[in-house]
Structure 1
């Protein structure tokens, strides 16, 4: 299994192309018959970029056998929690001004971003993560995402038969308290099903009591997560074709 995280000086499109190279390496050079990719947090954007925006010709040699989103929170909504609304607004507007001035590759000042990232972050990437205008490349998971945007992402997963698992932490500290996590995930799943995406409706859902990265979680919570992932992987190992996971509804 390839686990994906990402940083602030690149782009999710670059990340997705690098994921394709990794998958090809394991499929061909290492002769691994099954490859599943898991994205954690911001890494979930990379997985989505690979599945729904990367041209088929750019995808890996040898089809991806499964994809998992673990803690797919909205970075935009998380930034408001971390920074406070005023500092957040100043940050994305500053990034927008830099981009309009042709300086999208410029590193954002740590005084503006409040050291949210351990690594430097360009204006373009910060805007992609933080824009409230629904135009950021990273903005897959915000609770206020318009339906047409979801249809262009969750509804465009390619190939649609790729087994797909969504696991959202029930006590994720980076999700606003006002967000109904269960309804949010169900909305994504409904779009997937409507467009024929092979989403695992049995194991996808909320991991009750789970924090963003499972820090401090009871053993039962971790076992719930591992159990869902294990069952998902066993289904893939069993070789079910597209629709096999959905057929369990």
Structure 2
């Protein structure tokens, strides 16, 4: 798989991170894409046909490398990701891009929710206008807690009490024990992860919890986000693309859960079920359907 486009950089303080723009390079409309846990620039299979489809209808696809890419998520947070996404959106506005839709895959979907439901957009200002986006797309908006339970990743839940105690002791930014970190990564790769991020990903009601089945409709002290706080606070139209194969790794009736999201959104959320699609939509037919649905949904911004 390959893409033709423009490689440039985004200044994020100490670092200059690469961004890659493909599709219609002359367009003033852009889809900004962020991957999920362990992903990096160009790692998600459907991003390639999506770029081609966007180019045909006059949109750019902007992918960027963020601090939480690859194993960086272990010491990161949705807040850090949002700040970096805001910097990119502000940068694109400065280059003349008028319409911006942010899209995410897997835990990137949590980034989209964290961005679009930000309370600051409820009271518009000149500062918020620069970083406000016109829409959001979530592909594979799934619960990490439920996913890890399904895959019987017992070691994560065994150390959760330790992580919670570390947070209480003011040591939330410290790494979990090396013995756990060496086992925590995927495919035998060690994952340095701190107590806060571990709790956020798999603790009931953690900061990363937007898509679990037991999230309440209204605020409760146990949960960082209720449905009214998240889907009920969407500041822009949002599309959820749920991969059919993800359903078996999630708890409860997934379709009914998505309908609760839709109801809470008060008309801001639309959703599609991607039949015969894996988590990252690796199948050509499913990719074709995904692209068709995205292009159709984007017509509202013409």
Which runs of 5 or more residues in structure 2 are unaligned? 1-30, 36-67, 219-225
Contact 2:247 2:254 in 1 (8 A): no
**Aligned equivalent of 1:41:** 106
Matching residue of 1:242: none
Task: Say if 1:173 and 1:126 are closer, same or farther in 2 by CA, change over 3 A.
Answer: same
What per-residue deviation string (whole Å, max 9, x for no partner) do you get for residues 4-61 of structure 1? 2342212111211221111111112x21111111011111111111122352366461
CA gap 1:169/1:46 in 2 versus in 1, 3 angstroms: same
Alignment match of 1:88 (pick from 156, 163, 171):
156
1:9 aligns with 2:51: no
Tell whether the 8 Å contact from 2:105 to 2:138 is kept in structure 1 after alignment: yes
Structure-1 residue corresponding to 2:144:
75
Alpha-carbon distance between aligned partners in 2 of 1:104 and 1:31, rounded to the nearest angstrom? 40
* 2:233 paired residue number: 156
In structure 2, what is the equivalent of residue 116 of structure 1? Answer: 185
Query: Deviation of residue 62 (structure 1)?
Result: 5.3
8 A contact 1:207–1:221 mirrored in 2: yes
**Cα distance, 1:13–1:220 mapped onto 2, change above 3 Å:** same
Q: Which residue of 2 aligns with 1:198?
A: 268
**Which of 41, 56, 63 is the equivalent residue of 2:132?**
63
Give the direction of change, closer, same or farther, for the CA distance of 1:220–1:20 in structure 2 (3 Å limit): same
Tell me, yes or no, if the aligned pair for 1:164 and 1:199 is still in contact at 8 Å.
yes
More strand by share: 2
Does structure 1 residue 125 correspond to structure 2 residue 194?
no
Could you say what the CA RMSD is over the residues aligned between the two structures, in angstroms? 2.1
Residues 162-203 of structure 1: CA deviation (Å, up to 9, x unaligned): 121011111127723x5322222111111112xxx5223xxx
Counterparts of 1:101 and 1:62 in 2: how far apart (Å)?
35
**How many angstroms apart in 2 are the aligned matches of 1:173 and 1:199?**
19
Report 1 or 2 for greater relative contact order, CA contacts < 8 Å, sequence distance ≥ 6.
1
Q: When the two structures are superposed, what TM-score results if normalisation uses the length of structure 1? A: 0.81
- Structure 1 CA distance, aligned partners of 2:170 and 2:91? 36
Equivalent pairs, count: 221
Structure 2 match to 1:142: 212
Distance 1:155 1:81 in 2: 28
